[in-house]
Each structure stands twice: as structure tokens, then as C-alpha cells.
Amino acid sequence: MPKSKVLAAALGAAALFLMISNPAWAAGTALSSADEVGLVAPLLGSALGFLVPIGVALIAASGTPEKEAASMGLNFLLALGLAAFGYLACGFAFQFGGVGIISGLPGLRGLIWEWSPLDVAWGTGWGALGLKGYFLAGPAATPAAYALFFSQLPLVTTTVLVPLLALRRRTPFFVPVLGGLLVSAVIYPLAGNWALGGGWLANLGHNLELGHGYVDFIGSGLANLLAATVALAGLVAFGLKCTSGQAQALPPPEGDEGESYVPMPPAHLPLLAILGSLLLFVGWLGLAFGNPLIGVSALGAGQFSPAVVAVNLALSAAGGATLAVMYSWFTTGAPDVLMSPRGALAGLVAVSAGAAFIPAWAALLLGSLAGLLLPLVHYFVERVLHLDDAPAALAAHGLPALIGLLAVGLFADGRYGQGWNGVGDGEYLGVAGQGVSGLWTAPGFQTEGAAQLQAQLVGVIAALVLAFILGWLLFATLRRLIEAWQGTT
């Protein structure tokens, strides 16, 4: 089947899923209560959020040879199925089983079972695992819980999709399938509980006076960091080496006779990459405004400006795309059509965590830095480490997420985020109305010092350790089983 037809079928199936799975569309406008009417806007935003994994899949597919078209075209739907099953079975319960403790949203107040490994003598808020809401049953069988589940599904799908793209070409089919289930059922929910579900990372501000605790505006920074780390664990565990790992002596650009150069990754269907990057921006806006918790819980009780978020996303994406394509132009003599969409993706990932809290110049700086580092890091991964990271999981997802999460502790200027994670609802650092604050604050606000940066660093380390250890244990075990099976046949 032609590659274009496979991808068209995948996009059509994805669109059909969005229409039949959104409760607001399925039920029309005849909602039963005012509370449910208030969920319509978040549901529509969450539906747009599915454009993010679709865009990631399209950018990856644009660089895929024709012989791998069918496999690549199915990756989005496979990731969606694995994400939905694992997150429904236990992932949602692990992440939000105790969200009722911090949330004032009607319909979530029954989700109050949060397990903590520490005694209350250590202070409250050291939760590590939710234990209510399996299969969206019991206290999770409410419209609010369904809306919260739906808002997280695009992020879970993206977290499953990235390692799936990195591993499926070179490993047996069941390996990325089991990896996707581990991500959706355990890795993302655990880290999400710590950071977004009222767990210990979010409460670092209360317990250790580390700023506002770990801050990630929409959770996309965390999702991309986890995805890249799991992909790295799989590549290391299976020893997947890049088959084109050695620099090739190719005919040099005109005027550079006698020199050799390393070409940019090939783009087989460049229009798909451009389309994917456009879908990414729209999808990221949906993620930003699709979480029903924001504005009605300790997680998002603070103030933020939708206009600031939208502009910061646009600036960072533009900076990433521009610097990536300028680098390719400078090094190869021609702008590279695949590097620019990947740069836009890297820019969006980099600004996600702090999109609501940083000034416009910082957003442009983060995107530009992510776009500039993208080809350099991708070259290092494939040509120096010789890891077969064809979809650029580490360069386009991992490093930008790391930069963006730490940047909150540097560039958050105090104008927004009052009361975030329940810290400083009235005043903060002696200033009324001051929000999330890093090293450099706006005029009139007190500097936070390194406290917020320390909270971000703790969160990054916790996510890296969790994702790499669990991912490596699974993939290393699977590799041993495959080798043992092959040795007996």
C-alpha cells in the first residue's frame, strides 16, 4: 500500500476516535448540570491535544523510507491503544487516586486515597501513589474524572509514542508493546502523581521551602522527558547501534572541494513534516487549556494569562524552527526541510513547563537554544554514541524538556502563578500577588534565589531515575529472554 494512503488512513481513524470518544460531542449540548457544562471547553481543548502525538508521528514518518511506511503509519494508533488501556486499567488511579485532597472540582472529592512511604511526622504531602479510580470505577465514575482522564490521554499517548518510534524498527513487536504498557500504566502515572497529582514533588514548597515546589505548567515537559528516557533505556538495553554510525565521505557542497561532510537525516516526504509541525502548535494550545484542574485546585489555583501562554508557545516554536534550519543551511549549504519541523517540536517541548510563567524574551531564547542544539545533539547520539535514534527522541524531546524544566527556576518572573501548588496564595516573599519566581524576576517582585531551581532539579532527577531504571529493567529482561529463546531453537 502506498505510504500516503497508510498515513491518510491512520489520520482518518484518529479523527474518528476524537469524535466518538469526546463526551461533549457524543452527547451534543444536552448536558445534565452546570458542572458538566463547565467541562465542555476543557474537553474540546483536550481533543485538540491529540494533534500533538499525531504531529510527532507525521514528523517521524516524513523521514522514514518507503519500505517502512506501513509500520510507521500504524505507530500512532498503536500508541493510542496502549496508552488508553494501561492508563484506564491502573494508570489514572496511580496518578490521580488522591487528587481530591488538593482539588475543589466537583466530582473528584472521592479520590482521596494517596499512599505515602513517610510517616506524618515528616510533614504532610509526601504522597507517592494514588490508590483509587481503577478502570474509572467507584469514585472515578464521574464526569469530572472522565474529563481529567481525557485531558491526560494525549500526554500519555505522546509518552508511549516516542519510545515506540525509537524501538519498533529494530526489536520484536512485543518489546515496544510491553514498553508502552509499562509507560502508560506505571512510569507516567507515578511521575505524574508526584508532580501533578498532589504528590511529593509538588509539595516541595510546603515541606522543604523550595519555592512553589516542582512546577510544570501542563505536564508536557515531564511527559517528553520520560518518553526520551525510556527510549534511551531501550536503546541501551538492546544495544541498538546506528547502522550509519560512521561519517561518510560524500561529495562536498560546491566550493568545498577536498572536504567531507555528514549529511542531514533524509526527508522522504517533507510535506508531512511541515504539516506535522503546524499540527503540533495547535495541539499544544489544546494541551495548555484542556486540563480541568487548572484554576480549581492547588495545582492551578494561581493566575495565568492564556495570551501569555499562546505567545510564548509561538515564539519558542519559531525560535526552534529558525535556528535549526539556519544551522542546516550554514553547515550544508541548503536549508533542511526535516530539521526545521524538528526544531519547532524541540522549541515547543522546551517552553512547555514554563509557558505561563516566563517572559516572551525567555521563551524565544529557550526555543532558539533547543533548535540550535537539536542537530548537534542528534549528531552526537548517532555519530559518536552510535545509538540508532532515528526519530531524534533524545535531541527533539529529551534535552529540550530538560532545559525547559530547569528554565522555570531561572526565568519565572513572579508575575503569574500565585498560589501554584498551594504556595503563596495571598502573598509570597512578602510581596502581595507574587507568583512562581526564579533567579530573575520582574521589577517589583522579590527574587526567589535558587530555591525554585532546586525544586526543578529534584523533579528532573526523580523522573530520570524512575524512567531509566524501570525501562532498562524491562528491556534488559526482555533481551535476556529473547536470547535464551533463540539459544534453544
Whichever domain contains 344, its CATH number is 1.10.3430.10
Read off the C-alpha cell for 328. 542546516
Q: Of 242, 342, 267, which is closest to residue 61 (Cα–Cα)?
A: 267
250 burial type by CB count under 10 A (0-12 exposed, 13-18 middle, 19+ buried): exposed
Instruction: Quick: pLDDT tens for 175-199.
Output: 999 999 999 999 999 999 999 999 9
**Distance, CA of 315 to CA of 441 (rounded, Å):** 20
Residue 302 has pLDDT above 60, yes or no: no
Closest among 183, 132, 153, 159 to 21, alpha carbons compared: 153
Going by pLDDT thresholds of 50, 70 and 90, the confidence category of residue 268 is low
Torsion sign across C-alpha atoms 307, 310, 314, 319: positive
**pLDDT at position 73:** 66
**Does 17 fall in a domain?**
no
- Domain count for the chain, please give it: 1
Paired residues of 427 in beta bridges: 432
For residue 263, being part of any structural domain is answered with: yes
Q: Which long-range contacts (CB under 8 A, 24 or more apart) does 16-23 make?
A: 17/50, 17/80, 18/47, 18/50, 21/150, 22/46, 22/47, 22/150, 23/143, 23/146, 23/147, 23/150
Distance CA 424, CA 409 (A): 16
pLDDT bucket at 37, cuts 50 / 70 / 90: low
> 261: pLDDT confidence band, cut at 50, 70 and 90?
low
Q: How confident is the model at residue 241 (pLDDT cuts 50, 70, 90)?
A: confident
pLDDT at 22 over 80: no
Residue 389 CB contacts under 8 Å (≥ 6 apart), including other chains: 166, 231, 235, 242, 378, 381, 382, 395
| In a domain? residue 420 | yes
pLDDT at position 63 is 78
| Percentage of the chain exceeding pLDDT 90 | 65
Q: In which element (H, E) is residue 427 found?
A: strand 427-428
Distance CA 175, CA 9 (A): 25
pLDDT beyond 70 at 205: yes
How much is the pLDDT for 40? 86
Contacts of 208 (CB under 8 A, 6+ apart): none
Residue 117: partners with Cβ closer than 8 Å, 6 or more residues away: 126, 128
Alpha-carbon dihedral 19, 20, 24, 25, rounded to 10 degrees: 50
Which is it for the CA torsion 421, 426, 430, 431, positive or negative?
A: positive
Tell whether 27 is covered by a domain: no
Residue 406 has pLDDT above 50, yes or no: yes
Which of these ranges, 61-75, 101-115, 158-172, 407-421, has the smallest mean pLDDT?
61-75
The predicted structure's pLDDT at residue 286: 94
Specify the higher pLDDT residue, 427 or 158: 158
Strands 129-130 and 427-428: unpaired
Residue 309 has pLDDT above 90, yes or no: yes
Query: What's phi and psi for 418, nearest 5 deg?
Result: -60, 125
Return the higher-pLDDT residue of 69 and 448. Answer: 448
335 in a structural domain: yes
Radius of gyration of the chain (CA): 22
Over 80: is that where the pLDDT of 467 sits?
Answer: yes
Asked if the structure places residue 217 within a domain, the reply is: yes
Question: Among 291-295, 324-328, 419-423, 462-466, which is the least confidently predicted range?
Answer: 291-295
Phi/psi of residue 104, nearest 5 degrees: -100, 10
Residue 29 lies in a domain: no
Query: Distance between CA 232 and CA 467 in Å, rounded?
Result: 10
Cβ neighbours, 10 Å, residue 359: 17
Q: What's phi and psi for 232, nearest 5 deg?
A: -60, -40
pTM, entire model: 0.89
Contact predicate 170/399, CB 8 Å: no
Give 105's pLDDT tier (boundaries 50, 70, 90): confident
Across 123-137, 153-167, 463-477, least confident range: 123-137
488: pLDDT strictly greater than 70: yes
What is d(CA 367, CA 354) in angstroms, rounded to the nearest whole number?
Answer: 12
The rounded percent of the chain whose pLDDT value lies above 70 is 83
Whether 446 contacts 434, CB under 8 Å = yes
Q: What is the pLDDT of residues 336-346, one digit of tens each?
A: 889 999 999 99
Closest CA to 448 of 433, 465, 462, 434: 434
Q: What pLDDT is recorded for position 372?
A: 97
The pLDDT value recorded for residue 423 is: 92
The label of the residue with cell 463547565 reads 38
Q: Does residue 59 lie within any of the structural domains?
A: yes
Mean pLDDT, residues 465-480 taken together? 97
Task: Show the domain range for 351.
Answer: 48-487
Q: How confident is the model at residue 297 (pLDDT cuts 50, 70, 90)?
A: very low
Higher-pLDDT residue of 80 and 118 is 80
Task: Tell me what the pLDDT averaged over the chain comes to.
Answer: 86
The dihedrals phi and psi of 468, each to the nearest 5 degrees, come to: -70, -45
Average pLDDT rounded to a whole number, residues 104-118: 89
Q: Please, where are the H alpha helices in 353-398? A: 360-379, 393
